[in-house]
């Protein structure tokens, strides 16, 4: 009898566990469906760079300074922090009083400058533009002309239309009159420079690669291989220049001439783009497809200053609240 009782209790426990697991799975599935229905693409992650730098500084201090020095520094910084809080409270009271004024008399409340730091690491198809557009949309919902955007840019270039879209995203910042600083630590060439030249201030590390203002079309052609092996390759199209150069079709002089014409047209547009946004350059001398290290590029007015992105960000932290903004899927 005891055996049956214990066995029944065991079955009851198992049944309870099965029901509990089913409920948990149902909740997870329901949450997943709600997430899909909401259509949420991703989220914005914000990191205050000032705090990160202070944490690293504090860690170094603890390992290097004597306890008496640490105590003295801590006392001084607490006093300074208290004074800043007092000043901020006074400013908030002033802003609260200003809300009673007519809207025509209102001015933008005074506050500390904010600097938003973005990153763009480009490949041939400029895939990073998908995150960049979300980050810029978020920033433009809050930033004002008293703020600044710093973009850490690294790209050897790629497809014209892809980098055209990426450049257009940066134009959104400029259209809102928000200062744009672009930092190049390694390379901004071709489409990368198409983006970089939009900066109000273009900064590059001494040996960063800058330039390559040119256009390139290249593809292998296997027509003679197919012909040698009696393999036919047919293209049916409408429009004289719907297809010019292809991988398997016969290359004709007429097709080559058309592609050359298209390449030169795009190059002219590229040159005009650079000249419009960096009027100080001698466009005919720099639009040769060549690249230069940043120190040489500065002599050609292609960059404004020789500095690393680290120097720019540290400098910004001295007078502004600096935030790194990243879009995460």
* Token couple for 329: 């899927």
- Catalytic positions: 190, 242
Contact between 207 and 293 under an 8 Å Cβ cutoff? The reply is yes
Q: What is the pLDDT of residue 47?
A: 95
The tens place of each residue's pLDDT in the chain, 329 residues long, gives 444 445 444 444 545 555 456 555 555 555 555 544 455 678 999 999 999 998 898 888 888 888 888 778 777 777 776 777 777 677 667 766 665 554 445 455 578 999 999 999 999 999 999 999 999 999 999 999 999 999 999 999 999 999 999 999 999 999 999 999 999 999 999 999 999 999 999 999 999 999 999 999 888 999 889 889 988 888 888 888 888 888 888 888 988 999 999 999 999 999 999 999 999 999 999 999 999 999 999 999 999 999 999 999 999 999 999 999 999 98
- What is 114-212+290-328's CATH number? 3.90.226.10
Q: What is the largest CA-CA distance in the chain?
A: 101
Domain regions of the chain by residue span: 114-212+290-328, 214-279
Residues 45, 112: Cα–Cα separation, whole Å: 21
* Token couple for 257: 């001439």
Name the pTM for this structure: 0.78
CA distances from 158 to 129, 147, 211, 293 (A): 13, 31, 13, 20
Q: What is the pLDDT of residue 240?
A: 81
Mark out the alpha helices in the chain (DSSP H runs): 2-38, 49-64, 67-98, 129-140, 160-175, 191-196, 223-228, 253-277, 283-286, 294-299, 309-317
Through-space distance between the first and last CA atoms of the chain, rounded to whole angstroms: 59
Concatenated DSSP letters of 31-46: HHHHHHHHT---EEEE
CB atoms within 10 A of CB 144: 13
């Amino acid at each position: 009898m005891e055996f049956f009782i214990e066995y029944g209790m065991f079955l009851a426990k198992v049944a309870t566990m099965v029901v509990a697991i089913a409920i948990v799975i149902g909740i997870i599935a329901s949450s997943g469906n709600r997430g899909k229905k909401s259509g949420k693409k991703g989220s914005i992650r914000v990191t205050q760079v000032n705090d990160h730098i202070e944490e690293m500084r504090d860690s170094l201090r603890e390992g290097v300074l004597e306890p008496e020095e640490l105590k003295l520094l801590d006392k001084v910084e607490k006093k300074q922090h208290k004074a800043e809080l007092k000043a901020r409270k006074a400013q908030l009271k002033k802003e609260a009083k200003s809300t009673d004024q007519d809207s025509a008399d209102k001015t933008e409340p005074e506050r500390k400058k904010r600097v938003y730091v973005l990153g763009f690491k480009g490949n041939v198809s400029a895939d990073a533009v998908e995150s960049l557009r979300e980050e810029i949309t978020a920033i433009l919902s809050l930033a004002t002309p008293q703020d600044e955007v710093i973009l850490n840019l690294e790209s050897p270039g790629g497809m014209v239309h892809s980098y055209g879209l990426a450049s257009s995203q940066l134009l959104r910042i400029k259209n809102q009159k928000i200062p744009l600083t672009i930092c190049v630590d390694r390379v901004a060439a071709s489409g990368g420079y198409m983006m970089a030249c939009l900066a109000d201030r273009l900064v590059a590390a001494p040996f960063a690669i800058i330039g390559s203002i040119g256009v390139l079309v290249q593809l292998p052609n296997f027509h003679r291989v197919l012909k040698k092996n009696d393999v036919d390759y047919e293209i049916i199209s409408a429009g004289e220049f719907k297809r010019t150069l292809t991988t398997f079709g016969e290359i004709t002089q007429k097709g080559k001439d058309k592609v050359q014409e298209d390449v030169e047209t795009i190059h002219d547009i590229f040159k005009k783009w650079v000249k419009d946004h960096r009027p100080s350059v001698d466009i005919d001398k720099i639009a040769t497809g060549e690249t230069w290290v940043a120190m040489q590029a500065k002599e050609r007015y292609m960059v404004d200053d020789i500095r690393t992105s680290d120097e720019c960000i540290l400098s910004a932290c001295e007078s502004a609240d600096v935030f790194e903004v990243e879009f995460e899927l």
